[in-house]
Amino acid sequence: QVGKSTLGDQIKGKHKPIWDFHQSRHALTPEQEQVVADWATLRAYLAMPMDTHDIWAHAQDVSNIDVGPKWFRGFSRHPELVMKRPVKLDPK
């Protein structure tokens, strides 16, 4: 059960919603993450696939900070991006 004072504080805005709390711990802002995701999508359309290191390096360039070696794990919240092995386009 949740106490009345906790609910009252939530209504008055004294507590951040959980998604705001987690957002403050992200290395990139949502806008910066979208830039990285759009860039990866564009590169895929141009048949220039990237690996995780390429995306990680671009995220560091966009944010101007060290995003950390495990940053890519959190980037998986973008379901439109899927890591696959490249396949040949010409089956010869």
The pLDDT value given to residue 16: 67
The pLDDT value given to residue 24: 56
CA atoms of 67 and 33, how far apart (whole Å): 12
CA atoms of 90 and 56, how far apart (whole Å): 30
Domain boundaries, the chain: 27-77
What residue ranges of the chain have pLDDT lower than 70? 16-26, 86, 91-92
